[in-house]
Amino acid sequence: MQEQMEKLEDLRETIARLDSVEGEKNRAINERSEIKQVAHEANMKARDEITPRKSSELYAEVRTLKELLTNKQEDLKIKDKNISSLKLELEKAKSYNLKIAVNDASSGQVKERFSPLKAFKIRLTDWLSNFKRRVQELEDELENRKLSESKIFDAWLSKSRQFEEIKIELKESLLEIASLHEKLESLGTSYNGKIKSPAEKEIEKIKSELKLAKENEKIVSSKAKALKDEMSLLKNGMKLANEAEEKSRRALDDLTLALKEVASEASEAKKKLSAKQLELGLVKKEAGDLKDFIKSTKDRYKMFLDEAKKETELYRKTTERLKLEADEALSAWNGKEMSFVVCIKEVQEERDLALHEATKLNESLKASEQRSNAAREENYKLRDILKKAINEANVAKAAGDVARQENCQLKDCLNITG
């Protein structure tokens, strides 16, 4: 019984300790909530002190300055766009200048192409003049050869007539010689042995005539030979003249064909030259149009540039004015900022103090949590002990019931025996 009573006392103490631990736990939770509330109030106070009326006014001024700067930046962007458009037009003008240079180069190339055509034309005119001169020389030579040929032919005709006459004379002299020989023979036979004086005279006369006839025959034969040689020479000359005339005719035909070919080439070259001249005219016209366009573009660009310079000057003056205003606003802002910084420092100091207190409270909260955890562990241990004690109490109660029954039985037995 005494042991059971001790166990009951232990159980009561354990319950009291559990109640105290629960109370400490509740106090720690309350302290934690209070610390959180204090920290929240400190943060709210710091926030309220950081945003006073002066800081709002300063922020409004800064906002207006920012708006002015953004407006000026937009104006600058517009100016940059205008300048970029002007630069694009300048690039276009440069490209047109380059195109003109290319056209000039192409016109130079066309002129270079024309230069061989012109040289060919000059050579062609020189060749044509030489050809005409050569044709004239050949025609003159042909005319001279024709004249010489006609003269040779006339001489050949006269010589042939002379040759015929000489042949006739030679035949006549031969006939005369033959007749004289016959007369001489007849006289020799008829007057053989008779009176000789007149016959001899006649014979001598005939002999002398025969001698003259022979001499004439020799002369005529020599003349005939000379005429024959001269006629052969004339024939050779006529043959050579005919060959030369044929050569001249062939050369004239070749020159005529060459002249036709050259004339066709000259016509083609003339057509090409006219086409190239037309192309050169078009190129010159296009170059003139491009130059006019470049001139107008330059004038327009100059006008835009003057306007841009004026606007840039205005913008520079506006920028200087805004810079002065910004410097003044900056100096004012610096003064306000110093006071604002002082306020911020004070608020930061208060905030640091609040944070320090919050840190202390947090540390105490952690300590209370640790104590709460230790109490919870001890509570768990006490619960285990309590469970064991309850179990033991139940066992003791059961034993007490058994002992009570036994006592009752003993009392009954004692009553019976008594």
For the beta carbon of residue 106, count every other beta carbon within 10 angstroms: 16
Give the model's confidence band at 46: pLDDT under 50 very low, under 70 low, under 90 confident, else very high: very low
Dihedrals phi, psi of 193, to nearest 5 degrees = 90, 0
The whole-number pLDDT of residue 374 equals: 84
**pLDDT category, 3, cuts 50, 70, 90?**
low
Q: Which residue has the tokens 């910084």?
A: 341
Supply the pLDDT for residue 294.
74
Q: Over the stretch 366-385, which tens digit does the pLDDT of each residue have?
A: 887 788 788 788 878 888 88
pLDDT of residue 49 exceeding 50 = no
Extents of the domains making up the chain? 2-417
254 pLDDT exceeds 80? no
pLDDT number for residue 117: 60
Phi, psi angles (nearest 5°) of residue 196: -105, -15
Predicted pLDDT of residue 193: 46
pLDDT tens readout for residues 329-343 = 778 777 777 887 787
Residue 56 has pLDDT above 80, yes or no: no
- Tens digit of each residue's pLDDT (9 = 90 or more) over 184-208: 667 666 545 444 455 566 667 666 7
Indicate whether 104 pLDDT > 80: no
Question: Residue 403 pLDDT more than 80?
Answer: yes
Q: Which long-range contacts (CB under 8 A, 24 or more apart) does 286-292 make?
A: 286/103, 287/100, 287/103, 287/104, 287/107, 290/96, 290/99, 290/100, 290/103, 291/100
124 compared with 3, residue with greater pLDDT: 124
**In contact, 217 and 173? CB cutoff 8 Å:** yes
Band (pLDDT 50/70/90 cuts) for residue 51 is very low
Quick one: pLDDT at residue 195? 42
The chain-wide mean pLDDT, for the chain, equals 69
pLDDT at residue 196 in the model? 46
